[in-house]
Amino acid sequence: MARKTNLKKVSAEKQRTKRGRVPAKPAAKAGTAAARQKAGTAGKAAKRWTAAEVEEAFTRFARAHPAPRGELAHVNAFTLLVAVVLSAQATDAGVNKATPALFAAADTPEKMAALGEEKIRDYIKTIGLYRGKAKNVAALSRILVEQHGGEVPRERAALEALPGVGRKTANVVLNIAFGEPTMAVDTHIFRIGNRTGLAPGRNPLEVEMNLVKVIPAKFMLHAHHWLILHGRYICVARGPKCGRCLINEQCHWPEKTPPEFPLGERIATSASVMRREG
């Protein structure tokens, strides 16, 4: 009986493959070997940093780019919130191509709610998962009008209660719109925290909590911008540019390569990248 059941499963799978619908593999869970491989954090674990190393690393980031900015285009707290919601599983560059026309038509919760889900969808069709995102943007706009007087709330709980808004999105909005010293952990920061030994964690929340513990308060306002830009352009998932890394000396990644340039040149290179992109 078991053999017949297995044969049926194999036959069904063959039929799906013939029709071009190969069953999708389950996503790797955070903290698993597959997830670490995808994030660029596989291999021997790096040892933790000392307080002096953390201080020096962020002093270098501050020298390279004293006042970094987020890469998502926006004109106010509401459009920032919408842009961050749209950026889930999408690139900032892709979102920035779609939002100028959307924000020209609706840059307040009232205007966005009046625009409606269908028209929002038309503006963001080039962004991945646009149908669900259009539904969330329309819904959160209505909630802001009905429950918050048309204003973006400054409280984390109120933000996370909005459709399409999770902890990372709330952290970005709190940091950029309201100047709160939050740490929004994306795939780049998750990779840096684990690869370098700065703040290892099995999931984004653990990395966030560990970063908040080790980064001095004076650096926290800009810390997540520095780390995102560093991970996006220097400490990349594949083929990290260790030779150009301004925090090479502090990094504890066992597989890192030595610096190729003096510190001053590496800071200048990072400054150029950060100012161009952030």
The ranges assigned to domains in the chain are: 42-69+182-277, 77-178
Q: In the CATH scheme, what is the code of domain 77-178?
A: 1.10.340.30
Asked about 92 being catalytic, the answer comes back as no
| Marked catalytic residue, from 92, 133, 168, 256 | 168
**Amino acid letter, residue 75:** V
| Marked catalytic residue, from 186, 218, 241, 256 | 186
How far apart (Å, rounded) are the C-alpha atoms in residues 159 and 155? 6
Looking at residue 46, what is its pLDDT?
A: 78
Q: How far is CA 92 from CA 23, 24, 96, 98, 240, in A?
A: 30, 26, 6, 10, 21
Q: What is the pLDDT of residues 129-142, one digit of tens each?
A: 999 999 999 999 99
30 close to 205: Cβ distance less than 8 angstroms: no
Residue 278: band (very low, low, confident or very high) from pLDDT cuts 50, 70, 90: low
Q: What is the pLDDT of residues 174-210, one digit of tens each?
A: 999 999 999 999 999 999 999 999 999 999 999 999 9
Class level of CATH domain 42-69+182-277: mainly alpha
Asked about 9 being catalytic, the answer comes back as no
How far apart (Å, rounded) are the C-alpha atoms in residues 90 and 124? 12
The structure's pTM equals 0.80
Q: What is the pLDDT of residues 69-121, one digit of tens each?
A: 888 999 999 999 999 999 999 999 999 999 999 999 999 999 999 999 999 99
